[in-house]
A and B are shown apart, each in its own frame.
Chain A
Amino acid sequence: MAQLVTTTPGLYPLPEWAKDELSDLKGHQKEGLISGDEGEDVVAVYEDARGEAIDDQLTAELDRVVEGQLRWDDMLAHPLAVHDSVSTAGIVRYYDNNNFYRDPVVRGDLDFSGDVADELDAAAEHVDEGLQAVLPGPYTLADLATDEHYGDESDFLAAVGDFLAGEAKAFPEEVETLFLLEPSLLENPPGDGEDARASEAIDAVAAATDADVVAHTYWESHGGDEGLDEKVYAHLLDADIDAVGFDFVANHEDNAYVISEYGCTDDVALGVVDGQNTLVETPEEIAERVEWALANTPGTDFETVYATIDTPTFYLPSGKFEEKLSALGAVEREEVNI
């Protein structure tokens, strides 16, 4: 009998008051964005907002609680954007979204930063159990960045993997689960050889932590209505991770197919709440989607099934986001037929 665990992949929207206060403090241009050495007044706003994000999850009774990554102005590129060996260049489009981030240009060795660990230390003070960390997966982070230092694609990917491993190693011991977000595995799938290296880099990060590691994929593959590429998936299963995450909102059939065809990890994460639409699912609909996914992946026998929002949630207005958290938290764990 599998255990159902409700969670989210982080990158929350700022509460309305924090949107206003931070635009007043930081302005609207790229020069004002997070650099890693922000002043006290900015730090204080983020602390309050973080407390609120954690309270929202506790109130919703989610099983895993994330820090919220409210400081991540550059979305998944954040850990590089604040790194000393990286300078941020112009604003570039974030996948095919109507969102933009500062292009992080790597100009030196990616040594230890500790920026994300600091956030989690702060979050650990508010969370008794179920603390979850979120990082970009190494393939995704390398894909979002520009390398002007390592010079070779595979060296760069390995360096990003080692960097993220170092960050994960510094996480507080309270961290129970680590979500590695890997949308680039779909949006810009790795080719021959690169797919194996992407898996090795994920493996390096997973090896650095005692937390359960979920490599979470989302969106549809670029240029068509397809799920995760079969070859990429087969390589991903070579990594020593606890779960793969799938976006069952964007594409349930293809994802069910690859799981049935290639098997899966012992645990699985199912993206069953739409992180990019304001239509709020009911707890019953969420439970049905979980049941559908499990019924259509014969041959699997999962130990833990994470029911999650499929994508990060900064896409949503904060009110609708809170409603989605409540609906997810209200799923009757025992009554879901898994």
Chain B
Amino acid sequence: MSDNREQFRPEDHPNDHFLLTTVVGSYKKPKWLDRAFDLVEDEDANFGEAEFEEAKDDASRLITEEHERSGLDVVVDGEMRRKEMVEYFAHRIEGYEFNGRVKVWGHNYFDKPSVVDDVEYGEQWLVEEFEFTDEVASRPVKVPITGPYTLASWTFNEAYEDDAELAYALADLVNAEIEQLVEAGARYIQIDEPALATTPDDHAIVGECLERIVEDIPDDVRIGVHVCYGDYSRIYPEILDYPVDEIDLELTNGDYEQIDVFTEPEFTHDLALGVVDNHVAEVESVEEIKENIKEGFKVVPPEQLTISPDCGLKLLPREVAYRKMENMVQAAREIEAELDAGEIDVGRAAPASADD
């Protein structure tokens, strides 16, 4: 594992310690953008591709700047161009087709695609999104990308022997995409694999996918993997074998009940710790978030800790999401100052722990 974290420390960072603050990715779309997604599908509406692109550019600019205003060290554009985390990619990969909506729960549906032929790289996925966001942002930009295991699992597989074979084929495409993103200047990539939580026995398949993904990606490119809403004892410590710099986990939602899972054996990657709950509309106070951050020190020392919400913020009202990010950043900065002053005495943040 290389130390590629320092490149994200802002020049004017106020403290010696640096707890990298970022988000998982998705963010509530402005209502007018939801409307634009509907209008472009409506043949009777006088709303074409040019208008649609302009709306997405406007939203991307707006949310990137909103992220920067909250003080985050590394920002995202809130995935304004992506309707859904599997659909978006499936539309761009040859071999996929769409047959209609399926139920997720209640009257919430998902346009679950089918793989009907060998998957091949089609039109570009995220390079234009990254270039636009990077142009708008003054802070470094992270690129979240749906992982091949999740792309395979949340798809009807008509063409491959099993889901593992499909996942490996998709991993090669993700690798090709990341190479282009790196070429375009991206230095922080997050692979989203929420499907691992539903089928934890498949952790080795995800591991093999990640090996393919990181092949020939330079060490100074930071690679994270995001997993959420599962029984982590079934994937730990196996996930320490993953060839990534950082593992991003949802833990606030379960009130850190699972934090002890990661204390034995020692957590050797960086930990991106969820410190605010994306399913609760109440904004956590700075004090509350500081306590959550300290939970992370039970697992990793400060130099291995990244601060983030549990998961994407797309279901929260925008102002709530914004205030959560703002409080999260303030809490991180206060903890850093306390660390500088030697005032924090928790787990692996305790001043003496290095000499133990």
A-B interaction? yes
Q: Decide: A16 and B101 in contact? CB cutoff 8 A.
A: yes
Q: Is B198 an interface residue (CB 8 A)?
A: yes
Give chain B interface residues in 92-119, CB to chain A under 8 Å.
99-110, 112, 114
Give chain A interface residues in 293-320, CB to chain B under 8 Å.
314-320
Q: Is B8 an interface residue (CB 8 A)?
A: no
Q: Decide: A19 and B101 in contact? CB cutoff 8 A.
A: yes
Interface of B is mostly: mixed
Q: Is A333 an interface residue (CB 8 A)?
A: no
Q: Is B7 an interface residue (CB 8 A)?
A: no
Q: Decide: A277 and B101 in contact? CB cutoff 8 A.
A: no
CB-CB < 8 A to A13: which residues of B?
Answer: 102-103
Interface of A is mostly: loop
Distance (whole angstroms) from the CB of B32 to the closest CB of chain A: 19
Q: Is B256 an interface residue (CB 8 A)?
A: no
Q: Is A258 an interface residue (CB 8 A)?
A: no
Distance (whole angstroms) from the CB of B335 to the closest CB of chain A: 31
Q: Decide: A320 and B104 in contact? CB cutoff 8 A.
A: no
Q: Decide: B154 and A98 in contact? CB cutoff 8 A.
A: yes
Q: Decide: A279 and B156 in contact? CB cutoff 8 A.
A: yes
CB-CB < 8 A to A98: which residues of B?
Answer: 104, 110, 153-154, 195, 198
Q: Is A290 an interface residue (CB 8 A)?
A: no
Q: Which of B99, B110, B229 has the most CB of A within 10 A?
A: B99
Q: Is A27 an interface residue (CB 8 A)?
A: yes
Q: Is A33 an interface residue (CB 8 A)?
A: yes
Tell me how many residues of B have a C-beta within 8 Å of chain A. 24
CB-CB < 8 A to B103: which residues of A?
Answer: 13-14, 99, 314-315
Q: Which residue from chain B places its CB closest to the CB of A20 in the assembled complex?
A: B107
Q: Is B157 an interface residue (CB 8 A)?
A: yes
Q: Decide: B158 and A73 in contact? CB cutoff 8 A.
A: no
CB-CB < 8 A to B195: which residues of A?
Answer: 98
CB-CB < 8 A to A73: which residues of B?
Answer: 105-107
Say which size band chain A's interface belongs to. 35 or more
Q: Decide: A319 and B100 in contact? CB cutoff 8 A.
A: yes
CB-CB < 8 A to A33: which residues of B?
Answer: 106
Stretch at the interface among A89-97, A152-160, A189-197: A89-97
Q: Decide: A317 and B112 in contact? CB cutoff 8 A.
A: yes
* Cα(A30)–Cα(B106), bound, Å: 7
Q: Decide: B158 and A32 in contact? CB cutoff 8 A.
A: no
Q: Decide: A99 and B107 in contact? CB cutoff 8 A.
A: no
Of the residues B99, B107, B157, B201, contact of A223 by C-beta under 8 Å: B201
Q: Is A218 an interface residue (CB 8 A)?
A: no
CB-CB < 8 A to B104: which residues of A?
Answer: 98-100
CB-CB < 8 A to A224: which residues of B?
Answer: 201
Q: Which residue from chain B places its CB closest to the CB of A95 in the assembled complex?
A: B198
Q: Decide: A100 and B105 in contact? CB cutoff 8 A.
A: yes
Q: Is B258 an interface residue (CB 8 A)?
A: no
Q: Decide: A27 and B107 in contact? CB cutoff 8 A.
A: yes
Q: Is A23 an interface residue (CB 8 A)?
A: yes
9 A-B pairs with C-beta separation under 8 A: A13-B102, A19-B109, A28-B107, A96-B198, A98-B104, A98-B154, A278-B156, A315-B103, A316-B102
What is the interface of chain B, defined by CB distance below 8 A to chain A?
99-110, 112, 114, 153-154, 156-158, 195, 198-199, 201, 229
